[in-house]
Amino acid sequence: MNPEGKDFGTTKSGLETRLYHIEDGKGLSADLSDYGATVVSLTFTDSKGKERDLVRGYEDAADYEESGCYFGACIGRNANRIGNAEFSLDGEVYRLAANDGKNNLHSGPDTYNKRLWAVEETGKDYITFSLNSPDMDQGFPGNLKVRMTYRTVDNRFELEYEAVSDRDTVINFTNHSFFNLNGHDGGPVFNHIVTLKAEEYTESSKDLIPTGRRLPVTGTALDFTKGRRLGEALESGALPLYDDNFCLSSKPGEQAGEVYAPESGIGMKIYTDLPGMQIYTPPVAQGKGKKDTPYGPFGAVCFETQYFPDAVHQPAFKSPVYKAGEVYKTKTVYAFYRR
């Protein structure tokens, strides 16, 4: 292990970046950059001994700087969408960047995956990054201190988030890794079988802002309760893509979902203590990534654990607002297995 990491290139804005390697010694390893606290690669050995890199990404930080794809990104201060790019808190209106039509997506163009994070600690199987986000950064109130820890243990990739602000504010992080369990170069994920503990989803408008209603998945292309091929709805044209928030019925720490790829024999179970999970399948090509690989449409799927989108405007949704001094602490686990 190299605790200093290795060179990951210099961004066009002049940031010198590093890449760090962690592993569990049982076939799971990850490469992570201090540029954005980004998951650059996540490698798992299949039952035949073949190593497969299961996430889309780039070879150096400059490509991440230029990209708008959020590959492996640590998203904050607020993941997903806020309607009309504004919210009210403690009697004040806070205006955000409208970078998704009239709405705010992933906190705007100056999100945390475009920042250089500090490395607090690192070991053979873990690394902790930290970031200080000043008051009114991205339009949000409060000086926010964030710690992001990644671990590889017993074929589990664990993501631990911790943050605290000196003012009441919104805190809602997620990881935006694009998974393909056949490998980052594995082609469309149509044969990936997804199962979710989610009997409801949040109904949304055309611009993906929730209406406030939770609707049953039964009888829809969003019903993953008994396992479903992603391609079942996508290939038939029943859906143009998946970009939907599911209301998880699992308790904190319980398995919330699972995805399995018959071709590679690799599966991934998902555990979280958060109430929602956004599933996203990119419907268009995303350029070239690692090893000059063309990333075609529907070649990956995201499982973004989170508070519900636009929860700041929906009293019935669990609130992402944290009081001054209140600690935001959450954990998501991607647990891999092979058949």
Please say if 21 is a catalytic residue: no
Sign of CA dihedral 181, 182, 184, 189: negative
Question: Is 195 in contact with 250 (CB distance < 8 Å)?
Answer: no
DSSP code of 233? Answer: H
Phi-psi group of 253: left, alpha or beta (phi > 0 → left; psi -120 to 50 → alpha; rest → beta): left
Instruction: Give the whole-angstrom CA distance, residue 234 versus residue 321.
Output: 35
Please say if 304 is a catalytic residue: yes
Instruction: Give the whole-angstrom CA distance, residue 339 versus residue 333.
Output: 20
Instruction: Give the whole-angstrom CA distance, residue 86 versus residue 112.
Output: 19
Q: Of the listed 176, 184, 192, 258, which one is catalytic?
A: 176
Q: Of the listed 65, 158, 258, 304, which one is catalytic?
A: 304
Which is nearest to 326 in space by CA: 165, 145, 173, 88? 165
- Residue 91 belongs to what H/E stretch? none
Residue indicated by tokens 């209301």: 247
Q: How many CB atoms lie within 10 A of CB 2?
A: 10
Structure tokens at 266: 């690799």
Question: Is 172 in contact with 77 (CB distance < 8 Å)?
Answer: yes
Which is nearest to 194 in space by CA: 274, 266, 251, 261? 261
Active-site residues, by number, are 176, 304
